[in-house]
Amino acid sequence: MENRPFISVVMPVYNAEKYLVSSIESVLNQSFHDLELILVNDCSTDGSSAICKDYLCRDARVKYIELTKNVGAGNTRNAGVETARGVYLAFIDADDTIELDLYQKAVDASCDGSLDLIVWGATECYYGKNGCLSSKNAIQGTPCVLNEDSQIARMALELEQKTLLGYQWNKLYKREIVENEHIRFEKSVLYEDFFFSLSVLNHVNSMAVIESAGYYYNKRFEGSITNKYVLEYFELSRRRVNSMYCFCKKREIGGEASNVLGNIYLRYILSGLMRNEDKRSGMSSKDKIQWIKKICNDKLYIRTAKNCKTHSKILGILQKFMNGKKYGLCRLMGIGTYLVKVYFKNLYVSMTKQGGN
């Protein structure tokens, strides 16, 4: 029988030389040693390749893949998944780090590798323009061990509400599920992590959530997709909410899910209204009103957001305007949100912080 590692850790690497050493060291110095680290270089043009090759020579647990063309983070992870041999799959981004006992805690919760999924929290680390840490925010799910469909769906819903479901780096995935169901990261400008995790969840019969925020998610926003205009933003956001709703409905908690998902969907709608006001949308005033009308009559809006109990005054006002067919007032909210984003960025971040990663 093949002597395989317990965890295969996949790290996509692209022009990460400033942070790569710290990230690699946080994996290799784990108190849990039975792992392999698969570094996948997506055609970096900086010194990342040399760093990866140095660790390849230094530690037998390191594997190195050098891609011949740039394929993006999702397909880079796929290359690592196809090389992985472990009982579980884990992921880490090349500019993040993890606490040195994180994997040991996850393994301890895995019931000797019998559970399908283990989830932990994260510490969001915000860095200013000067590169200095400005603030931290720890997020965790409720610690538990679950083995019933409805329980798993409820926990998935909680994790989505806390923005923890969509990340791929805060989980141990049973590799057998990923391989048997041929699950891979799709090529998408947004939410590829979420769709991967949800695809796995559709086949999960047992899971644990551990009490840890030991993944340090460093938010530097240097070239981040969050700073770019994404034409497909709302289409993909709607798909995210709809996919989650279908998952919950399949596991017989569709009614319970509607309120949580309705609030998330309203946030996406408000963000969509704001993005419509960006010149890059190419939308006329008529187009923007038609967009609002379409959303108000959308089945997903009716099932989730139309009658949900809103968690903020802003979302409550938007819901009232939408239900009352006040399309012009909805658009005014989009204009106002756009102006807040342009002139009061910190306020905008606090307004839109929840609702999915």
Mean pLDDT for each consecutive 10-residue tract of the chain (357 residues)?
A: 87 97 98 98 97 98 97 96 98 98 98 97 92 92 97 97 97 98 94 98 98 95 61 96 97 94 97 95 96 97 97 95 98 94 70 49
**Ranges of each domain in the chain:** 7-225, 230-352
CB atoms within 10 A of CB 287: 11
Q: What pLDDT sits at residue 349?
A: 60
pLDDT of residue 354: 47
CA end-to-end span of the chain: 40
Contacts of 263 (CB under 8 A, 6+ apart): 305, 308, 310, 311, 315, 354, 355
Residue range 7-225 forms a domain whose CATH class is alpha beta
**DSSP-assigned letters across all residues of 224-249:** -GGGS--TTHHHHHHHHHHHHHHHHH
**Quick one: pLDDT at residue 1?**
44
Q: Is 70 helix (H, G, I), strand (E, B) or coil?
A: coil
Residues 27 and 17: their CA atoms lie apart, in Å, by 16
Per-residue pLDDT at 57 = 98
Q: What is the pLDDT of residue 357?
A: 45
The whole-angstrom separation of Cα 85 and Cα 108 is 20
Strands 97-98 and 215-219: antiparallel
Tell me the C-alpha distance between 23 and 31, whole Å.
15
